């Protein structure tokens, strides 16, 4: 699909760059495109030799918060032309469905097998970006304590030394670049596992909207996408792992078919093997070091239950590019641009990350969470705030200060109404119909 030149000549002819980006998936390509458009010379290094390679275990869901980034990249229309769907999300809870309001911002759904090559090809066609496929980062160049470039190895075993003012790690949750640089990280436990796959057949009732089931503490989902397919996923706690390992497809169908108001997975047909991931600890790394920045999962790899990975990959690449361009043009020290990026990353994502890390342990909802979920199923205004939070357009602090006080009132009124309805009629009064 992509029309890229993976010849070693690309990087041999120009060994010095303004930036070297390691990893040509969503975060790396976003960073490379936006840097190059602003006059920065970029080497984009990707270990896979296949221009059509893609991330195989992923729900593909791009949160509404990242849609402006897609529009800025000029990728939203090509994604829709490739069959991508715009959707809102709705959520089943034991208190009822939390449904999106009419003007809720819409997410984007396109399988990674189509999305990744499309984004990579856009990067390869951007003037100022040199894409080197099949080149693996094996070492770092240094200037004192600062990272000053990357050593890469091609499929034939030849090595290239790419010097740069900035090196960007966009190589995923198991980032080799972060390891080579000795970037501090925290590894946090995850108490669930994930299985999922694409099915053809009858669409879920609320398609094209995505639907998730908060089964507390288990979780299930249906994500309609291109070509009439639906990605079905389950994330149970690990006490159910044995049944999924024994029969991944059968267990996935049985799990989702057993949910309240279940989607039509049993009448569907898988179009590919059911894939799973058992160990997915959350990784939180420092986003910058002298001469180095991390984007996407290399910086922050969190629980996929909340569908934030694709969107945050795009957004973090955008924040980094905008933060460091002045420095790469020699207008200020690079350290200043890296601090700007670190602040932006923390401001936008740290609150979300704390809440996600806490729930990822596999625990059940706490009292405050139950109150907000219950109120969101009962009250339009709470649901609107909850939708903006769930689609990552606002942070936890704003959500809590806006939604929690109203949630308390909504739930009290609901409980009083239930109590009144359950009281026997007074003597001489007719029973309510």
End-to-end CA distance of the chain: 64
CA distances (Å), origin 239, targets 65, 99, 191, 429 = 34, 31, 9, 53
Write out pLDDT tens, residues 20-48. 999 999 999 999 999 999 999 999 999 99
Q: By three-state DSSP, how is residue 216 classified?
A: coil
CB neighbour burial string for 293-314, b if at least 16 within 10 angstroms, e if fewer: bbbbbbbbbbbbbbbbbbbbbb
Of 137 and 59, the one with more pLDDT: 137
Mean local confidence (pLDDT), 347-352: 97
Strand partners, 168: 21, 293
Cβ atoms 226, 114 nearer than 8 A: yes
**Token digits of residue 37:** 């458009």
CA dihedral 422, 424, 426, 430 (to 10 degrees): 90
Mean local confidence (pLDDT), 266-272: 97
pTM to 2 decimal places: 0.93
Mean local confidence (pLDDT), 95-108: 93
Mean local confidence (pLDDT), 145-174: 96
Comparing CA positions, the residue from 232, 258, 260 lying closest to residue 93 is 260
- What is the DSSP code (8-state) at residue 146? E
**Token digits of residue 326:** 């002045």
Q: Please report the pLDDT score of residue 58 as a whole number.
A: 86
Write out pLDDT tens, residues 278-304. 999 999 999 999 999 999 999 999 999
Percent of the chain with pLDDT over 70: 94
d(CA 198, CA 285): 32
What residue spans of 9-49 are helical by DSSP H?
9-12, 26-37
Please spell the DSSP secondary structure of 39-51, one letter per residue. Answer: T--EEEEES-S-T
Cβ atoms 319, 344 nearer than 8 A: yes
Up-side HSE of residue 251: CA atoms within 13 Å toward CB? 19
Q: Please report the pLDDT score of residue 179 as a whole number.
A: 97
Neighbours of 142 (CB within 10 A): 13
């Amino acid at each position: 699909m992509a029309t890229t030149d993976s010849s070693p000549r690309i990087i041999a002819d120009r060994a010095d760059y303004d930036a070297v980006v390691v990893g040509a998936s969503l975060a790396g390509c976003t960073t490379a495109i936006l840097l190059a458009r602003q006059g920065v010379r970029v080497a984009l290094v990707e270990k896979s030799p296949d221009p059509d390679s893609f991330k195989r275990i992923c729900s593909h869901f791009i949160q509404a918060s990242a849609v402006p980034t897609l529009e800025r990249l000029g990728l939203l229309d090509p994604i829709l032309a490739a069959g991508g769907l715009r959707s809102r999300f709705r959520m089943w809870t034991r208190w009822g469905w939390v449904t999106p309001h009419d003007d809720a911002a819409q997410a984007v759904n396109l399988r990674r097998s189509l999305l990744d090559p499309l984004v990579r090809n856009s990067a390869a066609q951007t003037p100022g970006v040199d894409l080197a496929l099949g080149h693996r980062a094996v070492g770092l160049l240094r200037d004192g304590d600062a990272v000053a470039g990357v050593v890469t190895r091609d499929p034939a075993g030849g090595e290239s030394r790419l010097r740069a003012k900035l090196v960007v790690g966009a190589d995923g949750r198991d980032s080799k670049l972060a390891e080579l640089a000795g970037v501090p990280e925290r590894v946090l436990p995850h108490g669930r596992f994930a299985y999922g796959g694409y099915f053809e057949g009858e669409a879920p009732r609320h398609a094209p909207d995505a639907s998730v089931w908060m089964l507390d503490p288990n979780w299930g989902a249906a994500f309609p996408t291109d070509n009439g397919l639906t990605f079905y996923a389950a994330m149970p706690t690990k006490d159910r792992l044995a049944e999924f390992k024994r029969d991944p497809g059968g267990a996935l169908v049985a799990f989702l078919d057993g949910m309240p108001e279940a989607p039509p997975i049993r009448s569907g047909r898988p179009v590919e093997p059911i894939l799973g991931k058992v160990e997915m600890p959350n990784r939180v790394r420092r986003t910058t070091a002298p001469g180095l920045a991390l984007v996407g999962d290399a910086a922050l790899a969190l629980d996929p239950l909340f569908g934030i990975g694709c969107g945050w990959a795009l957004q973090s690449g955008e924040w980094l590019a905008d933060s460091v361009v002045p420095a790469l043009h020699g207008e200020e020290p690079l350290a200043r641009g890296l601090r700007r990026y670190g602040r932006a990353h923390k401001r936008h994502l740290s609150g979300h990350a704390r809440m996600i890390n806490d729930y990822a342990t596999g625990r059940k909802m706490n009292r405050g969470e139950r109150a907000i979920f219950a109120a969101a199923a009962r009250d339009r205004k709470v649901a609107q705030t909850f939708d903006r939070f769930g689609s990552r357009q606002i942070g936890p602090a704003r959500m809590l200060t806006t939604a929690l006080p109203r949630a308390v009132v909504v739930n009290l009124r609901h409980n009083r109404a239930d109590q009144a309805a359950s009281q026997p009629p007074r003597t001489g009064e007719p029973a309510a119909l």
